[in-house]
Chain A
Amino acid sequence: MKILFKSLITASFFVIGLATSSFAANEWGIDGEEAKELDGTVVDLACELSGNCPDNCGAGKRQLGLLLKDGTLYPVVKGGSNFAGGTEELIEQCGKSVHVDGLLITDPLMTIYFVQRIRSEETGEWSKTNQWGKNWKAANPGKKLGRWFREDPRVAKIVDESGKLGIPGLVYEEE
């Protein structure tokens, strides 16, 4: 009976954990962060501000934002992949209304949004923002996504030219 009880407790924690990770934004403990679902239109930030508007929000080459119904504009600076932004997560929704989940970070210096999940208008299903990783994997077959920042040829070229510290010839000697 005791074993059964323990199993039930363990299972319930597992289910709660699964539900938490599946149905809410993952909090990072950042000062000023707030887990927040937003409804808005995906816009090209440069277009929205300056009126310079290429087709399709710049086709993934321009930073995107969420324009809320009340006119508030949030830049989407981060997506679900490590060290990666949010543009590739939202570019398919350029000019369209979206419902997203993530972290709104309100800092005295800047307010930014970290998009973690997008809800499909058709099915209501949530999907994680991992498109950047999928695209990188497709462009770099055989390389490990988990180490993309070590294996990306663009990173390697910069490190070859100017080193890890940004100054050619300067090397950090770990003590």
Chain B
Amino acid sequence: MNRKLSNIILSVVYPLMIKPIRLLPGYFIVIAGIITANGAVVSAATSPERVQVTGEIIDTWCYVTEIMGDAQGTAHHLCAVWCAIGGIPVSILGEDGQIYMVLKVESEDTNVANPTIVNIQTHKVTVDGDLYERDGVKYLFVNQVADDQGVVNLNHEDYGIIPFGK
């Protein structure tokens, strides 16, 4: 197969491979802005986008700040449990590399140290939910956990337990 043909095939197949967020039918996003009298753009409420996200449940603080290294997997599981119980928001690290702060899981109405959220720390999940984007943050309201594979990222063999080593 020559390179030109390979490139054509890749240009069609690759975008499909790297699109872990699948839009579900019947929903679309409305992004609105308000121009104030002084010209500043003010974020207005946005309608949610219905999405499906697959990824690992992570601790938002440690992952964004990188204060605990890459803050994923079995190596960081214990710390992620501490932070979730301590009330730090939980996120999903999507296979697309984006992070989605979880503000609701199924019928739960709370999101601080919620036992349902705490108990799935580090799990690889696929969820259906409503995505709101505002001021550099992706907020996810999970309507259904469609799949829960449990903990599958066994990186403690490389890193040990972070922090403190035990």
* Chain B associates with chain A: yes
Query: Is B69 engaged at the interface, CB distance under 8 Å to the other chain?
Result: no
> Chain A's nearest CB lies how many Å from the CB of B147?
17
> Could you say which of A58, A70, A88, A165 has the most chain B C-beta atoms within 10 Å of its C-beta?
A165
Binary B-proximity of A141-175 (CB < 8 A = 1, otherwise 0): 00000000100101100110000111100101010
Known: A63-B103, A87-B112. A164 touches B161 (CB 8 A): yes
Contact between A167 and B150, CB atoms less than 8 A apart:
yes
Q: Does A111 contact B (CB under 8 A)?
A: yes
Contact of A78 among B61, B79, B109 (CB under 8 A): B61
The answer, among B43, B88, B91, for a CB contact under 8 Å with A71, is B43
Q: Which of B1-9, B10-18, B21-29, B137-145 contacts A (4 or more CB under 8 A)?
A: B137-145
Q: Given A30-B65, A172-B161, is A77 in contact with B86 using a C-beta cutoff of 8 Å?
A: no
Say whether B67 contacts A110, CB under 8 Å.
no
Which of chain B's residues 76-117 have a Cβ closer than 8 Å to chain A? 77-79, 81-83, 85-89, 91, 97-99, 101, 103-104, 109-114
Chain B interfacial residues counted at CB < 8 A:
60
Q: How far is the CB of B72 from chain A (nearest CB, A)?
A: 11
B112 touches A62 (CB 8 A): yes
- Partner pick for B89 among A54, A83, A85, CB 8 A cutoff: A85
Interface centre among B44, B48, B86, B156 (most CB of A within 10 A): B86
- Whether B156 and A165, one on each chain, are in contact in the complex, defined by CB atoms closer than 8 angstroms, is yes
Is the Cβ of A149 less than 8 Å from the Cβ of B112? no
Is the interface on chain A under 10, 10 to 19, 20 to 34, or 35 or more residues? 35 or more
Interface positions of B from 41 to 63, Cβ below 8 Å from A: 42-45, 48, 60-61
Is the beta-carbon distance between B40 and A111 smaller than 8 angstroms?
A: no
Residues of B near A95 (CB, < 8 A) are none
Taking the closest CB of chain B, its distance from the CB of A60, in whole angstroms, is 7
Proximity string of chain A (9-49) to chain B, C-beta cutoff 8 Å, 1 when within and 0 when not: 00000000000000000001011010000000000011001
CB distance from A52 to the nearest CB of B (A): 8
CB distance from B121 to the nearest CB of A (A): 7
Known: A72-B135, A155-B81. A49 touches B67 (CB 8 A): no
- Tell whether B19 is near chain A: CB-to-CB under 8 Å: no
Q: Is the CB of A112 within 8 A of B60?
A: yes
Query: Given known contacts A158-B118, A166-B121, what 18 new A-B pairs fall within 8 Å (CB)?
Result: A30-B67, A31-B65, A49-B134, A50-B132, A58-B112, A62-B110, A71-B42, A71-B44, A75-B137, A85-B83, A85-B112, A87-B87, A112-B60, A112-B61, A166-B74, A166-B122, A167-B151, A172-B74
Across the A-B interface, the 5 shortest Cβ-Cβ residue pairs = A85-B87, A71-B42, A84-B86, A61-B110, A111-B136
A-B contacts, 21 of them at CB < 8 A, read: A28-B67, A31-B65, A46-B104, A49-B103, A50-B132, A52-B109, A54-B109, A63-B103, A71-B44, A74-B135, A83-B83, A85-B112, A110-B101, A110-B137, A111-B135, A112-B64, A154-B118, A155-B85, A165-B154, A167-B151, A174-B160
Residues of chain B at the chain A interface (Cβ within 8 Å) = 34, 40, 42-45, 48, 60-61, 64-67, 74, 77-79, 81-83, 85-89, 91, 97-99, 101, 103-104, 109-114, 118-119, 121-123, 130, 132, 134-139, 141, 150-151, 154, 156, 160-161, 165-166
